[in-house]
Every structure is written in structure tokens, then in C-alpha cells.
Structure 1
Amino acid sequence: MFLVGTDTNAGKTTVACALLRAAARAQLRAIPFKPAESGPAGPSSDRARLLASSILDRGELDELSPLRWSQPIAPGMADDPNPFVGRGASVSDVEAMLGRARWALARLEQRHEAQLSLIEGAGGLLVPMPGGSWLPDWIEGLRARPLIIARAGLGTINHTLLTVESLRVRELEPLGFIFTQLLPRDDASRSHNGTVIEQRSGVPCLGSLPYLGRPPSFPEDDGWLAPDFWPRVLAE
């Protein structure tokens, strides 16, 4: 399952961590994976947060995220901006990089006998990725089904429906969408956003993660997930 945000900072890592904890409660062997990460390392990095919520041990941090750059920009731009700004082909080989990601993911899956892999993307759907590629190339290359992560408030109807349509143009049917609430303030649009998106797209709302505080205090039960979330996901 590939977590795709409607934008950067939509809450993908927070949802992934919450799902890893929910999988453990459901006695499912789920592992995290972030094929390409850009930005500073440390305990607040995406891969460190994913590791802390997972069944992986500290020695598997590099396999969890095999491709890394220190610049806090899109992974493709950190790798080589030239193909994205019209200055020629990439110096990197996207197939070689996808091969490294597949190998690292397969090792983790085999080692932990994983029933589910939660793969976190970078930013939104149309994000530059290593080797002159784009995020949909990585969803296809890792043979995953997309799950959309969207903010719960005003504007999410447009952002989520655009992401659904863009995925479908590429024959990548989303499993569903999950809302995140990143701020404690109320928003009158929240009461209808999920229903509007479902009615327009036919894509189900599979969860709504409330505001968790800072640092986040993760739910101790699965009331934020759709009742049939695990059967639906595992059936795919």
C-alpha cells in the first residue's frame, strides 16, 4: 500500500505511524518503507518516526529508506534537477534506483514475513523523484496500491478529487482516502467533505485521524479507521 499525499505535509508519516500501531493491535505483521527521503536526518526524520512505530529494529533504518539526500527539497530535485528544468537527461538511472528500493523492501518483507508493506511517498502525487522520474513511476515500480492521505479541512475536496483523477488517468485506482487533522481548530467543512468526495469519485473514506497534539499521542484503539479497513486492504 502506497501512501500518497494531496500535498507536502498532508500527514502521511503520522498516518503511517498510526496504521503501523493499529496493525500491531490487529496482530498483523506490517512494515514501513520510504524508498526515497530528502531532508535532515535525526529523530524527527520520516524514517526515524516510522521505525519507532514499527516492528523493525534500529539496525534496519538504512533498509527502511535506502535512497536519501540531505537537502529538504523533492527527492528528484535533490538527486539531479537537470531533467526537471529542461537541462538534459538525468545523470542517475531510475531503473537502478528502483532496483535498490525493490531489493531493500523484499529483504524487509522476507525477514519479517510481512503481511502488509506501508510505503510512504514524498509530498503529493506529481513530485519529482530520482532519476528524472515522478512519483507514479514508483507506485507502479513497487507494485503497490495507492491510499490517499488528505487534510480534513477546507480545500480538501479539490485536492483529493484532483489526486483521484490524476491516479486514474495513470490506471492507478486508489484504495480509498484517509483524512488527517493537523491543527486543533474547528472547520465547518469537515462534516461534509468526506461524503462529497465519496459521492463524486466513488472512492471510500477509510479513516479520519483526529488532531494528536505535539508531540503526537497516538490512538489506543481503531475508532478512527473504517470498520472494514483491514479486510478491505488485505483483500487487495
Structure 2
Amino acid sequence: MSVIVITGTGTEIGKTVVTAAVAALAAAGGRSVAVLKPAQTGVGAGEAGDADEVVRLAGAAVTGAELARYPEPLAPDTAARRAGLAPVAPAEVADAARKLAEEHDLVLVEGAGGLLVRFDEDGGTLADAARLLGAPVLVVVPAGLGTLNSTSLTAEALRARGIEQLGVVIGSWPEAPDLAARCNLTDLPKAAGAPLLGAVPEGAGALAPEAFRAAAPGWLAPALGGAWDAAGFTATAGA
């Protein structure tokens, strides 16, 4: 796969940290990696955005790219309209990803919020960009109560559009998981109709970059370049 689109079932659930872990493993395996953030919201000029955070954690060898930046922490379409700036259309996202793929072995496209958040006034979404690219989608999900419904809805939206779901990754696995989180280790693959491909520990993004890169193989499954074992993790941490 030369392009993977990374989305979430909501906001603030660990997409950027998961993207950084995938990038770090690919770079450690000798692949050239670029991360594309089509629309960065809630960050001002001169401030570090999500692509910058991925590069910080995954290593300077990773290329970071951003298509647009809007200061207010809103959906891209709304943030662009309120800022009086041009929105980003799915076709622009797909074109930018293709150009990066010409010079990199792997391009990671990290969305904003969930799969169907509007990018522009025409209702274009990250799902439209993934469809144009013919790229699989990795879905980042929360661990606890409520995640099964949002995971199922995201999977249904992908299937309806004929988009491959690569799998799901828990973006922030708690140090002391409750009953719902432990049960979800078994139930998430059923809800997604796709494999569980990792569980990133809560607070992983606060690690020093060197420690982050050293630990990343233990968070993600072999399909993403790591050594994490879903069956073993579920048997140990599940209910």
C-alpha cells in the first residue's frame, strides 16, 4: 500500500499519535514516509500542527505536509467559511497524496474528526478522498463505552462507498481499563467487520520521541509493521 487514509470515529481519540506510530514503524523498516494533513483546524500561524507532531514523534526522516490551516477548532468546512479562506476539496487531497506517493514509499493521510466531516460546501469528505485514491482506511477508535456504535457506523459508511477498511486501532488504551473497554477488545472487530490492529497506551504522545519510536512496535500489529498480537492482548487484558 502506498497510501493509507487514517480517520477516527470522533475527535481527540488519538489519530495523530496512531499516525505517528504507523509512520515510525514504516520509517524504521526503511520506507520513506510522508504524512499529509489536508485541513488543520484550531491552530494558528506559526504553531505546530498535527503533521508537525507526527514528524516530531516519528523522526525527522518523515515528511510532513499540510494543505490548509484554519484558526478555529471546527469542522474544516465551517472553519474555512468563518475564516474567509478557501476550503479543501477531496480532489485536492487526492492529488496532493498522489504527488507525495511519487517520492515516498508510504503516504499517510490524516483526516480531521470523523470520516464524514465536511471539507467543503459541496459536502466533500475524507471518504471521498479515499475513494478517489482507491486507498484503504485505518479507523482509530476510543476504548470505552459507546465506541461500538460509532465504529459500526463508520464501517457501514465505508462499505456503502466501496472503500476497504484496513482495520481498527484503539487510540488510547487506559492504564486501568473498565469492563466496557475490556469487553470491547472482543467486540470491536465484530462491530468493524475488520481486524483489531493495535492498542496505543494512554499518554503515549507525551513520551520522548526516542522512547516513542522504541515502544511503537509493541502497540501495532504486523499488518502495520509492529509485533502487537491481538489475540494475546485480548486474552490478557480483555474480559
Q: TM-score range by the shorter chain?
A: 0.7 to 0.9
**CA deviation profile, 1:141-193 (whole Å, cap 9, x unmatched):** 33321110001122211121111112111211211000121654432222221
Q: Residue by residue, what CA displacement relative to the aligned partner does 1:110-167 show, whole Å, maximum 9, x if unpaired? A: 33xx221111011011211124322322222333211100011222111211111121
Change (3 A) 1:70 1:220: same
Q: Can you give the 5+ residue segments of structure 2 that lack an aligned partner in the other structure?
A: 227-239
**Are residues 1:148 and 2:143 paired?**
no
Q: Cα distance 1:168–1:230, how it changes in 2: closer, same or farther (>3 A)? A: same
- Which one of the candidate residues 134, 147, 172 is aligned to 2:125? 134
Greater share of residues in strand: 2
- Deviation track 1:35-60 (CA, whole Å, cap 9, x = no partner) reads 122221345421221232456679x6
User: Which whole-Å deviations, capped at 9, do the CAs of 1:2-54 have from their partners, x for residues lacking one?
Assistant: 01100011211111111111112222222211112222134542122123245
Residue of structure 1 equivalent to 2:233: none
Work out which of the residue numbers 165, 180, 187 in structure 2 matches 1:174. Answer: 165
1:11 lines up with 2:2 in the alignment: no
Instruction: Give the TM-score taking structure 1 as reference length.
Output: 0.78
Matched residue of 1:190: which SS? helix
Q: Which amino acid aligns with 1:193?
A: N
- Out of 122, 125, 134, the residue aligned to residue 115 of structure 2 is 125
1:52 pairs, out of 53, 56, 66, with: 56
RMSD (Å), alpha carbons: 2.8
CA contact (8 A) 2:170 2:199 kept: yes
Give the aligned length. 215
Change (3 A) 1:200 1:78: closer
1:43-78 deviation line (CA, Å, top 9, x unaligned): 5421221232456679x65xx012222222111112
Normalising by structure 2, what TM-score? 0.77
Q: Which moved more, 1:176-185 or 1:213-222?
A: 213-222
- Same amino acid, percent of matched pairs: 32
- The one-letter code of the counterpart of 1:10 is I
Distance in 1 (alpha carbons) for counterparts of 2:224 and 2:19: 14
Structure 1 residues without counterparts, runs of 5 or longer: 82-90, 232-236
